[in-house]
Amino acid sequence: MKRLPAEWEPQRFVQLTWPHKATDWAPMLDEVNACFVELALAIVRFEPLLIVCANATAVRQLLREGCEAMGIEETTYGKIRLVEMLTNDTWARDHGGITVMVDGQAVIYDYGFNGWGQKFEAGLDNQLTRKLYDAGAFNTKADEDGATPAYLDCNDFILEGGSLESDGNGTLLTTSECLLSEFRNPSYTREMIEHRLKSDFGLSRVLWLNHGYLEGDDTDSHIDTLARFCDRDTIAYVRCDDPVDAHYEALQKMEQELMQFRTFAGVPYRLIPLPMADAVYDEEGNRLPATYANFLIVNGAVLMPTYGSLLKDEMAQNQLQLAFPDREIVMVDCRILIEQHGSLHCVTMQY
């Protein structure tokens, strides 16, 4: 029996893939390093952390300085494991392994990653999960019965973690724009893709969103930028109420689609709207894909991206607290991540 866990289920650790000077982060490396330090130290408040990096000594020093600046005890280091490997970039959500429960045991599925439909070089990142498994990096904490996760090579199929939202109970939420894009799995029809997902993950159904996008998004509308399961009956989603905003029509149609979805009990989902983030632009005046839907659920908390808008950040925090009343909402400034068209969930992968 196979099952794709929900993100709110107990986690063993989170993976970060650290920026370095050979990535697109080179012009802003100091700023993104500071963001990654803040994010790393937020994660280890709640669970262990695996960091893939080009230079473990340098990253360890950054973390040590961050602990000192924030008054965090050095015992924090015991929850961080650093592994040196070459990488193209930092988007662990999409080049990371996907945990699937098979007959009650964790298996790391390693799907193909081709830079979001051949948009960017990804040869090194596509090899990471296999190399990490071979290096024993996923054996940070054994399951209760002493087992460690198995590995399954799924590189015949292109699939990114950011395109998947699971309720842990047989329902997958995704977008047609991403999974049906011509440069991911061109030989697959929609029916074939749905069959593959059901077979791989033990799904009962796939809920397809056909509308919704963010300007500046390189992923072809990953679901984790638009709508997220918060529990089996609740979906948080980005709402745009401004008729002059470029996203208004598409996100209004997406909201209508979400309203038509039904839970396994046959009732509408509890929908919690998240505010449309204030517009953020790059130096050339292009809008960047800032979204509050790109939060990360960890053990006991939700890490939420912020974008320097006091009003909208607070509104999003309040809405997520409604969605997760028993978890702490921890805000992390992700303005620098948006410079490379991603955010908090995009740079993390839970196991």
Q: How far is CA 298 from CA 44, 45, 90, 219, 350, in A?
A: 10, 10, 19, 23, 8
Nearest to 277 by CA among 317, 250, 249: 317
Q: How far is CA 224 from CA 45, 156, 191, 213, 289, in A?
A: 23, 23, 22, 11, 12
On whether the CB atoms of residues 202 and 261 are closer than 8 A, the answer is no
CA 223, CA 291: separation in Å to the nearest integer? 11
On whether the CB atoms of residues 275 and 292 are closer than 8 A, the answer is yes
Q: Which of 53, 67, 154, 346 is catalytic?
A: 346
Instruction: Identify whether 67 is a catalytic site residue.
Output: no
3-state secondary structure the chain: CEECCCCCCCCCCEEEECCCCCCCCHHHHHHHHHHHHHHHHHHCCCCCEEEEECCHHHHHHHHHHHHHHHCCCHHHHHHEEEEECCCCCCCHHHHCCEEEEECCEEEEEEEECCHHHHCCCCHHHHHHHHHHHHCCCCCCCCCCCCCCCEEEEEEEEECCHHHCEECCCCEEEEEHHHHCCCCCCCCCCHHHHHHHHHHHHCCCEEEEECCCCCCCCCCCCCHHHCEEEEECCEEEEEECCCCCCCCHHHHHHHHHHHHHCECCCCCECEEEEEECCCCEECCCCCEECCCCCCCEEECCEEEEEECCCHHHHHHHHHHHHHHCCCCEEEEEECHHHHCCCCCCHHHEEEC
Q: Which residues are catalytic?
A: 346
